[in-house]
Amino acid sequence: MPADSSPALYPQVLLRNVRIVSVGGVPASDVPVDVRMRGGRIVGLAPSLAADASDQDVHDGEGRWAIPGLWDHHVHLAQWADTLARVDMTGTRSADEVLTRLRAHLDELPGSDRDSVVIGFGHRSATWPRQPTVAELDAVSGQHLVVLVSGDGHNGWLNSAALTMLGAPATEGALAENDWFPVWGRLADLPGSREARDTAYRLAVSRAAAMGIVGVGDMEFGAGFRDWPPRFAGGIRDLKVRVATYPDGLDAVLAAGLRSGDILGDSGGLVRMGPLKIISDGSLNTRTAYCDEPYAGGSGLAYPCGLANYPASELTELAARATKAGLRLAIHAIGDAAVAQALDVFEATGATGTIEHAQLMRRADITRMAQLGVGASVQPAHLLDDRDVTAQCWPDRTDRCFPLRSMVDAGVAVLLGSDAPVSVLDPWLAMAAAVHRSADEREPWNDAEALTVEQALAASTDRQPTLGVGSRADVVLLDADPLVPPHPVGSVHLAGSVNPAGSAADSAPSAAAAQRLRAMPVGATYVGGRRTHRA
């Protein structure tokens, strides 16, 4: 048994009668098999395995289809948990609509909550006819502290009371980028926030397990490497977690002697140190993503081409320090100039890791990314939200946005995620968006960049191929084969095969394939052999 395993975290389980789905081009068995999991690994896989005294549990898979556990490689888990109890501002088209929705929420609060903290989430102001002001938020918020977090997380609209409480810089409008991020990180210090967060975490983790998620890259702000061990000890342990740090926490991580991959606390290897996360530019919706060419209609913008959050020299210095200490990098880069700058840093320092988002890219940088061995941690559901604002802000470069297929074809290691709460934590939505690239009746957006279902699935399993002996005991059982049109559990069908009707649909953008993915029924989820969800 591996040194980082324990019977409680990595039980010995015999899983009977499952069909193995081919993932990553590795062939699968064409008959139902039994799977034995011990010490966090699959140690046996055959058409029939005899139960023995060491098997703690024997589970019947009932003919379901088995895939490696799904990962969301980019989550802000605390913020995602928090949004489950926040005022929903998604879909608002103006500051006035937000204020109307806020006023209605305040009117419904009971008398005992009249002075409470109100946090909203989801507005996107890039296309609004005018930008919001603190004064108009003050006019409707009364005694409340009000914080409205944008849907992409790159700005916050606060009233005066909240600005004062959180020690934010004076502003007439919304806070953005480096003025906003430290304030965002202090929301956990508001009255009542810590008490509510534990409950919210448990709910968020439970929902993730129900969708087949076994692990996340937690890109949350703060000292996650310190916060996660007690959280795990408190019972939040149904996910594997890789915990990022940010530049303001780098000294503390280096002082602790932590390297990417190191086990944190007594988690038995379920919680590990992740990368150094650097936010090198802004976002499209705030028109701060750093681009080679100006934004359309951006003559009045303070930064017509967006904004680099770090000079190249400072970014290189950060990367070099982290790399020397054994930390991988996760560099947020959305605009094409930011992606190019990030690749320069990887090349100059010999760093390993990923570019987070890679939303707009020069074609030559796709090839360079593959040559450097830099991965792409991407969030396909963002393209559903950003389609219209891209047409408004980047109408001359839409063909280079979300170049998923080009990256896969070039040999870039593409990893799917959500950036929750910017998009919902749902791997099946991410896969569907990558495959179909449309959320409505319109034709797929730039369908040459769509992935096949096979490619999208392979990008969602943390680079784990078809289950076999030696695989991680992170397993998801599905009531349908994700690679082909649905078949009922128990019907005669060879896992991994593609029928004529399904092959054409799965090799091109397909609304039908996307619908199948969005409705994919998860029967059970196992993390290290321990069942974390059962339908």
Q: Give 253-281 pLDDT, tens digit per residue.
A: 999 999 999 999 999 999 999 999 999 99
- What is the predicted pLDDT for the residue at 86? 82
For the ranges 180-194, 404-418, 472-486, the one whose mean pLDDT is highest = 404-418
- What is the predicted pLDDT for the residue at 199? 79
Task: Say if CB 15 and CB 523 are below 8 A apart.
Answer: no
Q: Is the pLDDT of residue 337 over 50?
A: yes
* pLDDT, average across residues 510-527: 94
- Given the structure tokens 């006035």, which residue do they identify? 96
Q: Is the pLDDT of residue 75 over 90?
A: yes
CA 504 to the chain's CA centroid: 29
pTM of the model: 0.82
* pLDDT, average across residues 117-129: 88
- Given the structure tokens 């020397």, which residue do they identify? 324
Q: Is the pLDDT of residue 498 over 60?
A: no
Residue-wise pLDDT for 361-386, tens only, equals 999 999 999 999 999 999 999 999 99
Q: What percent of the chain has pLDDT over 70?
A: 92
Say how far apart CA 76 and CA 22 lie, in whole Å.
30
- With bands split at pLDDT 50, 70 and 90, how would you rate the model's confidence at 508? very low
Half-sphere exposure of 103 (CA within 13 A, CB side): 11
Task: Say if CB 427 and CB 478 are below 8 A apart.
Answer: no
**Inter-axis angle of helices 336-349 and 363-372, nearest 10:** 30
Burial 363-380 (b: 16+ CB within 10 A, else e): eebbebbbebebbbbbbb
Which tops the pLDDT comparison, 124 or 467? 467
CA 374 to the chain's CA centroid: 18
196: number of Cβ within 10 Å: 14
DSSP 424: -
Say how far apart CA 535 and CA 209 lie, in whole Å.
11
- What is the predicted pLDDT for the residue at 300? 78
Say how far apart CA 363 and CA 147 lie, in whole Å.
39
DSSP 21: P
What are the two backbone dihedrals, phi and then psi, of residue 176, each rounded to the nearest 5 degrees?
Answer: -135, 155
Q: Is the pLDDT of residue 503 over 60?
A: no
Q: Token pair for residue 440?
A: 């409505």
- What is the predicted pLDDT for the residue at 293? 96
Task: Say if CB 1 and CB 39 are below 8 A apart.
Answer: yes
Say how far apart CA 79 and CA 120 lie, in whole Å.
12
DSSP three-state, residue 414: strand
- What is the predicted pLDDT for the residue at 177? 85
- What is the predicted pLDDT for the residue at 397? 96
Say how far apart CA 355 and CA 407 lie, in whole Å.
12
Evaluated on CA atoms 191, 196, 198, 200, the torsion sign reads negative
Say how far apart CA 330 and CA 279 lie, in whole Å.
9
Which tops the pLDDT comparison, 239 or 190? 239
| H or E, element range at 114 | none
Three-state SS for 168-235 is: CCCCCCCEEHHHHHHHHHCHHHCCCHHHHHHHHHHHHHHHHHHCCEEEEEECCCCCHHHHHHHHHHCC
Task: Say if CB 168 and CB 145 are below 8 A apart.
Answer: no
- What is the predicted pLDDT for the residue at 111? 66
Q: Which of 405-414, 463-472, 501-510 has the lowest mean pLDDT?
A: 501-510
- What is the predicted pLDDT for the residue at 113? 61
Q: Is the pLDDT of residue 109 over 90?
A: no
- What is the predicted pLDDT for the residue at 506? 40
- Given the structure tokens 């490689």, which residue do they identify? 73
- Given the structure tokens 């304030």, which residue do they identify? 183
- With bands split at pLDDT 50, 70 and 90, how would you rate the model's confidence at 5? low
Q: Which residues contact 453 (CB under 8 A, 6 or more apart)?
A: 431, 435, 482, 483, 506, 513, 517
What are the two backbone dihedrals, phi and then psi, of residue 144, each rounded to the nearest 5 degrees?
Answer: -75, 150
- E-strand stretches of 351-398: 353-357, 375-378
Which residue in 470, 496, 501 sits closest to 481, CA to CA?
496
DSSP three-state, residue 515: helix
Which residue in 407, 315, 414 sits closest to 368, CA to CA?
407
- What is the predicted pLDDT for the residue at 59? 97
DSSP 331: E
- What is the predicted pLDDT for the residue at 8? 83
DSSP 59-95: EEEEEEEEEEPEEEEEE-HHHHHHHTTSEE-TT--SH
Residue-wise pLDDT for 196-234, tens only, equals 677 788 989 999 999 999 999 999 998 999 999 999 999
- With bands split at pLDDT 50, 70 and 90, how would you rate the model's confidence at 298? confident
Q: Token pair for residue 295?
A: 């934004």
- With bands split at pLDDT 50, 70 and 90, how would you rate the model's confidence at 79? confident
Q: Token pair for residue 370?
A: 């593959």
Average pLDDT, the chain: 90
